[in-house]
């Protein structure tokens, strides 16, 4: 009799979330005499939908552990393991991906509104998750990339300059004249690519020669760049549409649509299997979308206000929202850093 009344979870999607994100739970016997409950430990999750075989639950701000259960009339389901991100920094203002160096330190920005002078431009979060100011004399720090020598490169959409920064925080101008410089990324030969949101992708050689690599439609916000294991450059640029695309650019500058159907795609990164992860929405659900090499897409992680992500050591993932940084075990390995391939 007890098993006949016990809720049964058959599937939970997506596989991960951050607080404020949503899990869709399918199964049976979720309701009896009253409304079901979804619990993480003893913490109750708000329900958006609750029926006998389908629940949508919002992840609360404080989750003691990642085992989710459904309860009805005092009976609890077997626990279902979900990956929930843990906040490691707040009071930030990233506008794209964080960056992770070879020691596991994380760098992220306080970008501010255009023309705003902020007390701190870039924060450094060490492997113990201590948050410290790293750079302070830069307007509208936007995107961060790291070369194989461990030097940081930071774009400024305010002055069109790409700054080079040592691990100790000594800053110098690397190149200038990049327009509204947003996303930046290195190819395998250490050429640096810069997205000028007015419609140009620049290529800067290691000798700092500047070329126009390709041109695209202007973006209303930014270009976000990531190199795939196929040595093609993948570009996102959010528009007002809910059916935006990821564009792929060949090494000779030819542009094609890789995937269409995302809402406001922003920061992007690849895993070791060649799957592309994009901060965006799909089917009205916001978070991080995984697009396979065969161009199949699904929501991988649910959460509000996500602008970027980066893979760390092992299977760790870091996710930036418009105000915070989260960490979680994504269960996948990121694309290896160029200098440890």
Contact (CB, 8 A) for 261 and 274? no
pTM of the model: 0.95
Which one has a higher pLDDT value, 313 or 60? 60
Distance, CA of 196 to CA of 121 (rounded, Å): 20
Distance, CA of 284 to CA of 99 (rounded, Å): 28
- The predicted-structure confidence for 271-300, as pLDDT tens digits, reads as follows 999 999 999 999 999 999 999 999 999 999
pLDDT of residue 339: 39
- The predicted-structure confidence for 2-18, as pLDDT tens digits, reads as follows 566 799 999 999 999 99
C-alpha dihedral, 106 to 112 to 117 to 119, nearest 10°: -40
Please give the C-alpha separations between residue 171 and each of 42, 90, 188, 195, in angstroms, as whole numbers: 48, 25, 24, 21
Which one has a higher pLDDT value, 5 or 152? 152
pLDDT of residue 55: 96
Distance, CA of 121 to CA of 117 (rounded, Å): 9
Distance, CA of 163 to CA of 170 (rounded, Å): 10
Going along the chain from its start, the domains and CATH numbers come out as 2-84 (2.60.40.10), 86-340 (2.120.10.30)
């Amino acid at each position: 009799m007890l098993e006949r009344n016990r809720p049964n979870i058959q599937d939970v999607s997506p596989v991960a979330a951050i607080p404020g994100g949503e899990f869709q739970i399918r199964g049976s016997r979720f309701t009896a005499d009253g409304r079901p409950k979804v619990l993480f430990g003893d913490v109750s999750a708000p329900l958006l939908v609750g029926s006998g075989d389908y629940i949508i639950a919002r992840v609360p701000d404080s989750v003691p552990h990642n085992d989710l259960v459904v309860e009805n009339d005092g009976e609890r389901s077997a626990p279902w393991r979900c990956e929930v991100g843990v906040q490691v920094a707040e009071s930030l203002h990233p506008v794209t991906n964080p960056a992770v160096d070879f020691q596991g330190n994380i760098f992220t920005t306080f970008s501010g509104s255009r023309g705003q002078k902020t007390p701190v431009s870039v924060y450094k979060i060490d492997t113990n998750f201590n948050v410290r100011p790293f750079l302070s004399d830069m307007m509208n720090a936007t995107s961060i990339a790291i070369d194989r020598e461990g030097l940081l490169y930071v774009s400024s959409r305010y002055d069109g300059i790409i700054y080079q920064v040592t691990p100790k925080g000594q800053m110098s101008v690397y190149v200038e004249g990049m327009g509204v410089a947003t996303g930046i990324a290195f190819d395998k030969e250490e050429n640096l690519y810069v997205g000028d949101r007015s419609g140009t992708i620049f290529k800067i050689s290691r000798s700092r020669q500047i070329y126009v690599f390709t041109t695209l439609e202007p973006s209303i916000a930014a270009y976000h760049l990531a190199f795939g294991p196929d040595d093609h450059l993948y570009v996102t640029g959010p528009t007002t549409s809910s059916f935006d695309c990821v564009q792929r650019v060949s090494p000779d500058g030819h542009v094609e649509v890789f995937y269409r159907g995302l809402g406001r795609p922003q920061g992007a990164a690849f895993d070791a299997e060649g799957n592309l992860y994009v901060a965006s929405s799909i089917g009205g659900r916001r978070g991080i979308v995984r697009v396979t090499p065969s161009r199949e897409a699904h929501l991988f992680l649910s959460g509000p206000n996500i602008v970027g992500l980066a893979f760390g050591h092992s299977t760790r993932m870091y996710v930036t929202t418009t105000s915070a940084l989260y960490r979680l075990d994504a269960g996948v390995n990121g694309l290896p850093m160029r200098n440890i391939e």
